[in-house]
Structure 1
Amino acid sequence: MNDLAPHGVLTEPMTLEIQRLLPGPIERVWDYLTRSELRRQWLAAGAMELRVGAAFELVWRNDELNDPPSRRPDGFDAEHRLECRITELDPPRRLAFTWGSSDGVTFDLAPAGQKVRLTVTHRRLPDRGMLLKVSAGWHAHLDVLAARLSGTVPPPFWDGWSRLMQEYEQRIPA
């Protein structure tokens, strides 16, 4: 799928960085980050005005990422919503926004030959439980994004997320 380590790493306590090498061009990957109808195919819907300070809402419906959907784990609803605000914007290279009680998420895009290196950094998550959920979540969502951009069938989201929770439990120290 790509030549990068698939798992995210901690770059400081409670900060996750995860990378993917994706089919380009960079503008196409940017569209999958910023256009609601494309972003909903791998992460969450939500119209986004591309300006620093703009508020927007992300709406997850992870059951819709696969057909048929995989089994949703206990404790998750069919829909989840999060209010966000854009904090950095440099199209098509960088997008950053607020994210709940963490210090936010940054998406960095860089050309890598015919591909694009996407680096997702989720900063200062509030606790280990949230760090594990977010790590498995970004990993599983980026696997779906890579499949969408490659024109292949995405892996079952919830099955992958459940497996990845166990993997990150082992990988991230208590």
Structure 2
Amino acid sequence: MNDYGVVLESGAVRFERLLPGPIERVWAYITEGDKRSKWFCGGDVEPRIGGEVALFFKHSRITDEPPPDSARKMNDEGALMSGTVTAWDPPHRFAFNWLGMGDPDSDVEFQLSEAGDKVRLVLIHHRLATKDRMAMISSGWHLHLGLLEDQLTGARPRGFWSVHDQLKAEYAERQKGITL
């Protein structure tokens, strides 16, 4: 399976991963703030459509690599963003409108399904308004989903900041010719 996200349409990217199950465990790592903070961001989710989503990013929790100067404050002190739950169907589908990322708001959807003893995770991020935003978000999800896999398999967490800029450049190159 290719780890790179695929552009679905103008302003949308899709990722797919096969992760170790059971599905309830993967669901918990996506929806429970204490588990999610180990690979992406912390914060509570109000478990219902229309519920609030708190997204507290503090990357010093997910990597011990030094951040670039542009991310130092968020890495060291944290940054709070928010959203609203738009789909809640445990343990198969969770979606939210993501507020506070600059540009227009965007939409994130996690879909989980059983695939033998594995769990197929499909993540789709919609309404990415610019190519730069799409490259940044794509590289971020690529790295965060790798860290989720590391959490679920018990592997040592892979690099984050050490590969972020290169991965963002790769996504920007892959998106040449796409019209947003």
Match for residue 68 of structure 2? 73
- The alpha-carbon deviation at position 159 of structure 1 amounts to 1.4
Match for residue 89 of structure 1? 88
Is the contact between residue 14 and residue 126 of structure 1 (CA under 8 Å) also seen in structure 2? Answer: yes
Q: Secondary structure of 1:56's match?
A: strand
Q: Secondary structure of 2:162's match?
A: helix
Query: Which deviates more from structure 2 when the two are superposed, residues 155-164 or residues 87-96?
Result: 155-164
- The alpha-carbon deviation at position 133 of structure 1 amounts to 0.6
- The residue type paired with residue 149 of structure 1 is L
Q: Using the aligned pairs only, state the percent identity.
A: 36
TM-score relative to the length of structure 1? 0.93
In structure 2, C-alpha distance between the alignment counterparts of 1:11 and 1:74, rounded to whole Å: 32
Q: Secondary structure of 2:61's match?
A: helix
Match for residue 56 of structure 1? 53
- Two-structure CA RMSD over aligned residues (Å): 1.2
Count of matched residue positions in the alignment of Structure 1 and Structure 2: 169
In structure 2, C-alpha distance between the alignment counterparts of 1:139 and 1:91, rounded to whole Å: 24
In structure 2, C-alpha distance between the alignment counterparts of 1:147 and 1:140, rounded to whole Å: 11
Q: Superposed, which structure 2 residues align to 1:87-126 within 5 Å?
A: 87-100=86-99, 101-126=104-129
Q: Secondary structure of 2:141's match?
A: helix
TM-score relative to the length of structure 2? 0.90
Is the contact between residue 113 and residue 119 of structure 2 (CA under 8 Å) also seen in structure 1? Answer: yes
- Stretches of structure 2 lacking an aligned partner (at least 5 in a row): none
- Stretches of structure 1 lacking an aligned partner (at least 5 in a row): none
Cα offsets for 1:109-152 (capped at 9, x unmatched): 01111100101100011111111110000000000000000010
Which 4+ residue blocks in structure 1 deviate beyond 3 angstroms?
none
